[in-house]
Amino acid sequence: MLLAADDVHANGRYPAAGLLVVDPNDPDHVLVRATYGIITTHDHGGEWRWTCEKVVGFGGFEDPMFGILADGRITAGLFIGLSSSVNGGCDWTMNPSLRNRYVVDLAVEKFDASRVVAVASNGVDAGQFLTQLWETTDSGATWTQAGIDLPVEFLALTLDPAPSDPERVYISGRYGAPDYLGVLQRTSDRGATWERVDIPGSDDNSLPYIGAIDPMDPDVVYVRLNRAPGDPSDALIYTDTAGDSWTTLFEGKGDMLGFALSPDGSQVAIGGPEDGLWVAPTSTFQFEQVAEIGVKCLTWTERGLYACADEFRDGFVVGLSENGGRSFTPVLHLDEVCGPLECDDQSGLTRNCAEEWGPTQLLLGAKSCDGSPTTTTSSSTTTGAGGSSSGGPREDSSGGCSAPATAVSSRWWLTLIPLGLAAALVRRRARRH
């Protein structure tokens, strides 16, 4: 049974999903980052398996970006570097070239999932940062710096390569001191040179986060302005001139935690817990509210529009819409995380996560993988649209995994970034893709 909403906390946070990634070569393989670890399915929700944060290398209030590469490798950008698993999540290793670097963001290229870009940004002195673009062209087997360092006054927040022109990469962030500006750094030669463009209305209280780049036009970029508490709510802005001019498309009531562009670039979806879900054609940008769900993430694929929502309010954790967001079929309920990944006894996951599953299972009210319920006596409080659970999970038929795990969690990075900014960065990681 599900725990009552007032009784549920994960890492001191309400149990929720904040990012959904679909395998570019297997649409049934879906990864969800949640406040209680990561969960994955290989049969589009028939069975969900759990991985604890510790084995990946993160924890607390950290919300890293994940990607699934062409060969199935899973990669995560962490405060302590770049962590990857080549055996489905049983074991994780840190990339030696980026060890102890804050990998702020990463992005798998849309038309070639063996190519990934990442941005690392670390404080080196008061108001100064070492910010670099990194890349792999062999599904993460090797990583190298792409081009030159960015200006020392620049702290990166997000990045994206243009799908139609891989040489074009954009990185958003804040620039200068003491009067910080929200800016976009752009390159047309894969980082050999960089050009800064300022974003009107963006500063330290209104930070810019890239939402997406049009799949066919590298000059079209969508950016979410994430405003600090007490300021006006989040806004979506847009440029079709590579940042030389900007237009405000939408201003909401609260945090804009979800953004998605349809695969063909013809529609855009945005949403948040207070605003619900809004969709517009990119030909007019006339937004229409299509659902009242409390959006926590959005991902748009050929299969449809995925949304992360609130189990207790909306009736599901992850749902899929095949009609542009007007209705959702539940793909994941909170109690359907049936157990840890099946790995061998020497795997990093087994050694690091085994003791954590019991409390996590009780937290979620989850069934075991054989379909039996937990022993919790807390009452269920599922509300909202979305329907009931699809029933007990199926038996796992996957094989075991083995390899040494080396990922270790740390908080040393806090000494390199001012405390107020660190808190803001952690709070604002919920976004896009």
Kindly tell me if the per-residue pLDDT of 401 is higher than 50. Answer: no
Predicted local confidence at residue 393, as pLDDT: 33
Predicted local confidence at residue 165, as pLDDT: 96
At position 311, the amino acid (one-letter code) is E
Predicted local confidence at residue 396, as pLDDT: 35
First to last CA, the chain: 31
Banded model confidence at residue 53, pLDDT cuts 50, 70, 90: very high
Kindly tell me if the per-residue pLDDT of 400 is higher than 70. Answer: no
Banded model confidence at residue 219, pLDDT cuts 50, 70, 90: very high
Q: What is the pLDDT of residues 337-378, one digit of tens each?
A: 999 999 999 999 999 999 999 999 999 999 877 766 654 333
Predicted local confidence at residue 359, as pLDDT: 93
* 3 state DSSP class of 64: coil
Q: How far is CA 17 from CA 129, 306, 334, in A?
A: 31, 12, 10
Count how many domains the chain has: 1
Question: What is the mean predicted confidence (pLDDT) over 213-225?
Answer: 98
- In Å, the largest CA–CA distance within the chain is 60
Q: Give the contacts of 359 (CB within 8 A, at least 6 positions apart).
A: none
- Answer yes or no: is 319 within a domain: yes
Banded model confidence at residue 403, pLDDT cuts 50, 70, 90: very low
Kindly tell me if the per-residue pLDDT of 75 is higher than 70. Answer: yes
Give whichever of 111-120, 374-383, 393-402 has the largest mean pLDDT: 111-120
Greater confidence (3 vs 319) lies with 319
Banded model confidence at residue 394, pLDDT cuts 50, 70, 90: very low
Kindly tell me if the per-residue pLDDT of 10 is higher than 60. Answer: no
Question: What is the mean predicted confidence (pLDDT) over 59-70?
Answer: 95
Kindly tell me if the per-residue pLDDT of 238 is higher than 80. Answer: yes
Question: What is the mean predicted confidence (pLDDT) over 6-17?
Answer: 64
Q: In the structure encoding, which two tokens stand for residue 324, read together?
A: 């542009």
- Answer yes or no: is 347 within a domain: no
With the C-alpha atoms ordered 330, 332, 336, 341, is the resulting torsion angle positive or negative?
Answer: positive
- pTM, rounded to two decimals: 0.85
- 5: DSSP letter: G
* 422-430 long-range contacts, CB within 8 A, separation 24+: 424/207, 424/228, 425/104, 425/157, 426/61, 426/62, 426/63, 427/61, 428/157, 428/207, 428/209, 428/226, 429/18, 429/62, 429/63, 429/64, 429/65, 430/18, 430/19, 430/63, 430/255, 430/257, 430/296, 430/297
Beta bridge partners of 329: 320
Cβ pair 181, 193 in contact under 8 A: no
Output the domain CATH number for residue 174: 2.130.10.10
| Mean pLDDT rounded to a whole number for the chain | 86
Greater confidence (397 vs 342) lies with 342
Greater confidence (23 vs 230) lies with 23
Boundaries of domain holding 96: 5-338+402-427
- Answer yes or no: is 381 within a domain: no
- Answer yes or no: is 309 within a domain: yes
Banded model confidence at residue 233, pLDDT cuts 50, 70, 90: confident
Banded model confidence at residue 195, pLDDT cuts 50, 70, 90: very high
Banded model confidence at residue 427, pLDDT cuts 50, 70, 90: very low
Q: How far is CA 309 from CA 67, 195, 227, 328, 395, in A?
A: 21, 38, 21, 11, 26
Q: What does the alpha-carbon distance between residue 315 and residue 293 come to, in Å, rounded to a whole number? A: 9
- Answer yes or no: is 370 within a domain: no
- Answer yes or no: is 395 within a domain: no
Predicted local confidence at residue 189, as pLDDT: 98
- Answer yes or no: is 359 within a domain: no
Kindly tell me if the per-residue pLDDT of 91 is higher than 90. Answer: yes
Place of tokens 């108001």: 127
What secondary structure, in 3-state letters, does 70-110 show?
Answer: CCCCEEEEECCEEEEECCCCCCCEECHHHCCCCEEEEEECC
- Answer yes or no: is 365 within a domain: no
Q: What does the alpha-carbon distance between residue 105 and residue 32 come to, in Å, rounded to a whole number? A: 16
User: Phi and psi of 421, rounded to 5°?
Assistant: -70, -40
Q: In the structure encoding, which two tokens stand for residue 141, read together?
A: 């087997």
